Amino acid sequence: QVQLVESGGGLVQAGGSLRLSCAASESIFSINVMAWYRQAPGKQRELVAVIYKDGIANYADSVKGRFTISRDNAKNTMYLQMNSLKSEDTAVYYCNAYNFGNLYWGQGTQVTVSS
């Protein structure tokens, strides 16, 4: 059972930056897929970015060019660098890991962007 803990959320002005971290309770070296999702009030949870074991990453159109997902296997941590933040990025951000048929979620971290 992999436990995931997000951190790094907070309140930031529009145009600012934040870096989210997702720390895993065990090695992520063999985890095939890790991702960041977000859920805004009254909306469904949506995929923000995904990174595969080989380092290939994909992004939602709404964050392309502004967000960067990365993983540091040595630190068992995944990151989401968020730049040029907009008010519409306000949401609870969750990290996710999928491996050998098992899906794991963190508890979420709030990101609030003030305009």
Q: At residue 99, does pLDDT exceed 90?
A: no
Contact 4, 108 (CB under 8 A): no
What gap in Å lies between CA 50 and CA 74, rounded to an integer?
A: 19
What gap in Å lies between CA 96 and CA 102, rounded to an integer?
A: 10
| Of the candidates 7, 9, 4, 5, the residue with the CA atom closest to the CA atom of residue 85 | 9
Number of Cβ atoms within 10 Å of the Cβ of 43: 9
Summarize pLDDT for 51-82 with one digit per residue, the tens.
999 999 999 999 999 999 999 999 999 999 99
Rounded mean pLDDT, 88-114: 96
